[in-house]
């Protein structure tokens, strides 16, 4: 049985991840570990709050409804495009396709309408 890793910071998430890590994977409490592939993880309560805050910032939203939907375990393609990256400093960023503003609007609308 694989050891379950507890994640309590962005730095630790990047340290144990294979290459990069998405917010969707972290909120689903699974991560592609360098050593064993996809494994279950546990998030501390403080780290979960940090992830939610970072996700809301990346989506440019302050809607409590969007936050609640994400916290309940929403599955959405937009959450797979929010990455934790380390280029000099650790940041959470949204990776847009072609139209950044309209993608963010679409994600926020779909999350509130669907869930």
DSSP secondary structure string for all residues of 25-51:
HHHTTEEEETTTEEEEEEE-HHHHHHH
Domain span at residue 110 reads: 5-114
pTM for this predicted structure: 0.84
**What pLDDT is stored for residue 1 in this prediction?**
41
The CA distance from 44 to 100, in Å, is 31
pLDDT digit string (tens) for 55-113?
999 999 988 888 898 888 888 889 999 999 888 888 889 998 888 889 999 999 888 88
Q: Quote the number of domains for the chain.
A: 1
Strand-by-strand arrangement of the 37-43 sheet: 5-7, 37-43, 30-33
pLDDT digit string (tens) for 10-48?
999 888 886 788 999 999 998 887 777 788 999 999 999
- Report the C-alpha dihedral over residues 65, 72, 76, 42, rounded to 10 degrees: 130
The SS3 call for residue 90 is strand
């Amino acid at each position: 049985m694989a050891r379950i890793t507890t994640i309590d910071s962005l730095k630790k998430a990047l340290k144990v991840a294979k290459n990069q890590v998405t917010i969707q994977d972290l909120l689903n409490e699974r991560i592609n570990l360098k050593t064993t592939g996809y494994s279950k993880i546990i998030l501390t309560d403080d780290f979960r709050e940090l992830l939610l805050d970072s996700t809301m910032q990346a989506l440019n939203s302050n809607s409590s409804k969007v936050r609640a939907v994400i916290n309940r375990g929403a599955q959405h393609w937009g959450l797979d495009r929010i990455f934790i990256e380390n280029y000099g400093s650790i940041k959470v960023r949204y990776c847009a396709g072609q139209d950044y503003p309209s993608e963010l609007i679409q994600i926020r609308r779909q999350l509130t309408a669907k869930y």
